[in-house]
């Protein structure tokens, strides 16, 4: 299957698309359901051509009914199918919240392991693009606090493909955060493998940059802010290790703690609000399990406890930035 003409470099969106086409090709039990995903091919084009390729029996344009989209997908999974649900924006997932956290997430638990729901709910997420309050959210913490859901957030094309393939094969429900600002970002295009060689396991973090002075843990779009901040730190004489979590649930604590045995300093960055955000969860785990490793107070950098505002100066003011990450990391290094 040659989806992508240019085999050398693939963007984040086409990597996702390739993952979906490959898995739908391999397993005819996959059903896709979402708003505008068939005829149109998705608001951003992630499912472009999917219905033409696999037919209207496997790719459904649903009415604007997120709860019923998720619930119907749940029923499909109860009866032998696997489901891929697209949220047009991950912000809209709130309309399907009850079905996700009460129906889907708990099914395996409620049935003492009899029934699992092999469902991926994926959708474009994240701020920094002027999407304003309802097209900018990172609401992963809602679901991290709902037992039974895996949570994934890739930052590169290869991870986007490899993690989505793994998510689609997972027997559990997975919420998959796609960073829409990265969908067509030229600077991050990279070659991706075909088939099983492209698989990336869930639950494994990746060290994006090695360093020995401070560990910066992040995921999604903030990976790039942190890498830029690491360059700033280098100019100040500090080497930062940047860890991309890639999967939040299950959390790869080991990679974080191993890094801290070298650096003894921790900064965690996410673009979700501060209070009960996932960065706080990482900090709490380190405080409980690696307190002795800390030579400086661990730091959270997050969005302020605000919605994401629209006008650019407002949006940038409330979100983590290269500057705010650099400054926090420097303070930590100099503590």
Partner 1 sequence: MAKTDPARTTKERQSKAEKGAADPLPASLTKSDYQELLLQLYLARYFDVRLIKEKKRGRLRGTLYSSHNQEAILVGSLFGLRPTDWISPIHRDMPAFFLKDMRAGWSNPNRSGMSIEEVCGQVWGKVGSPGRARDNWSHIGSTKHKIIHSTSMLAGTIPAACGVVLADRLDGKDSVALTFNGEGSTAQGVFHEAINFASVHKLPVVTIVENNQWAFGTPAHLEYALEDFARRADGYGIPGLIADGQDVIDVYEKVSEAVAWARSGKGPSIVECKSFRAYGHGDHDDDRAAKYRPKDEVKAGRSRDPIGIMKEKMIELGYLSQKEAEKYPVEGKGANDLTDEDFPKQVVEYLAKGVEFAIASPVPPPEEGAMWVFREVE
**Nearest distance in Å: CB 275, partner 1:** 25
* DSSP classification of residue 199: -
Q: Which of residues 84 and 223 has its CB atom nearest to partner 1 in the complex?
A: 84
Task: Choose the binding region for partner 1 from 41-49, 95-103, 259-267, 325-333 (rule: CB under 8 A).
Answer: 95-103
Catalytic residue among 108, 135, 225, 317: 135
Site for partner 1 contains 73 (CB under 8 A)? yes
Site for partner 1 contains 65 (CB under 8 A)? yes
Task: Choose the binding region for partner 1 from 55-63, 186-194, 227-235, 266-274 (rule: CB under 8 A).
Answer: 55-63
- x/- string (CB under 8 A) for partner 1, residues 8-47? -----------------------x----------------
Task: Tell me, yes or no, if 135 is annotated catalytic.
Answer: yes
One of 172, 247, 270, 326 touching partner 1 (CB under 8 A): 172
One of 6, 27, 102, 275 touching partner 1 (CB under 8 A): 102
116 close to 79: Cβ distance less than 8 angstroms: no
Three-state DSSP string of 67-128 = HHHHHHHHHHHHCCCEEEEECCCHHHHHHHHHHHHHHHCCHHHHCCCCCCCCEEEEEEECCC
Using CA atoms of 15, 17, 18, 20 in order, give the dihedral in degrees to the nearest 10. 130
Site for partner 1 contains 230 (CB under 8 A)? no
106 close to 97: Cβ distance less than 8 angstroms: no
Residue 287 dihedral angles phi and psi, to the nearest 5°: -60, -35
**CA angle at residue 157 from 156 to 160, to 5 degrees?**
85
- Of 224, 294, 227, nearest in space to 259 by CA: 294
**Nearest distance in Å: CB 245, partner 1:** 18
Site for partner 1 contains 136 (CB under 8 A)? no
Cα-trace Rg, the chain: 20
Q: Which of residues 62 and 328 has its CB atom nearest to partner 1 in the complex?
A: 62
Q: Report the sign of the C-alpha dihedral through residues 88, 91, 94, 100, in that order.
A: positive
Q: Which of residues 115 and 314 has its CB atom nearest to partner 1 in the complex?
A: 115
Task: Choose the binding region for partner 1 from 79-87, 189-197, 273-281, 301-309 (rule: CB under 8 A).
Answer: 79-87
**Nearest distance in Å: CB 98, partner 1:** 5
**Nearest distance in Å: CB 33, partner 1:** 9
One of 49, 130, 147, 191 touching partner 1 (CB under 8 A): 147
Using CA atoms of 303, 308, 311, 315 in order, give the dihedral in degrees to the nearest 10. 10
Site for partner 1 contains 94 (CB under 8 A)? no
One of 2, 8, 113, 186 touching partner 1 (CB under 8 A): 113
**How far apart are alpha carbons 61 and 271 in whole angstroms?**
31
Using CA atoms of 134, 68, 250, 167 in order, give the dihedral in degrees to the nearest 10. -100
**How far apart are alpha carbons 6 and 9 in whole angstroms?**
6
Catalogue the active-site residues.
135
Residues found near partner 1 in the complex (CB under 8 A): 31, 57, 60, 62-63, 65, 67-81, 83, 98-99, 102-103, 106-116, 147-148, 150, 170-172, 202
């Amino acid at each position: 299957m040659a989806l992508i003409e240019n085999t050398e470099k693939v963007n984040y969106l086409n990597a996702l698309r390739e993952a979906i086409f490959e898995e739908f090709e391999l397993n005819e039990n996959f059903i896709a359901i979402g708003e505008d995903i068939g005829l149109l091919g998705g608001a951003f084009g992630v499912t472009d051509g999917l219905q033409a390729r696999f037919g209207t029996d496997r790719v459904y344009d649903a009415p604007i009914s997120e709860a019923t989209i998720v619930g119907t997908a749940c029923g499909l999974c109860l009866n032998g199918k696997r489901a891929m649900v697209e949220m047009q924006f991950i912000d809209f997932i709130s309309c399907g919240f009850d079905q996700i956290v009460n129906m889907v997430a708990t099914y395996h638990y409620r049935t003492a392991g009899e029934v699992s729901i092999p469902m991926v709910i994926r959708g474009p997420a994240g701020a920094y693009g002027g999407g304003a309050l309802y097209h900018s959210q990172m609401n992963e913490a809602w679901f991290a606090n709902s037992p039974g859901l895996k949570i994934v957030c890739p930052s590169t094309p290869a991870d986007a493909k490899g993690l989505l393939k793994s998510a689609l094969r997972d027997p559990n429900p997975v919420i998959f955060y796609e960073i829409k600002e990265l969908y067509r970002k030229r600077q991050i295009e990279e070659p991706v493998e075909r088939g099983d060689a492209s698989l990336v396991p869930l639950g494994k973090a990746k060290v994006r940059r090695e360093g020995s002075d401070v560990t910066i843990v992040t995921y999604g779009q903030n990976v790039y802010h942190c890498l830029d901040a690491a360059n700033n730190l280098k100019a100040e004489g500090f080497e930062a290790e940047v860890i991309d979590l890639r999967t939040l649930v299950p959390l790869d604590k080991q990679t974080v703690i191993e890094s801290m045995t070298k650096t003894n300093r921790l900064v965690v960055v996410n673009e979700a609000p501060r209070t009960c955000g996932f960065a706080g969860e990482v900090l709490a785990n380190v405080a409980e399990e690696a307190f002795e490793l800390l030579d400086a107070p661990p730091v959270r950098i997050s969005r302020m406890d605000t919605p994401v505002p629209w006008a650019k100066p407002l949006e940038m003011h409330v979100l983590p930035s290269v500057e705010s990450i650099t400054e926090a990391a420097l303070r930590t290094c100099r503590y």
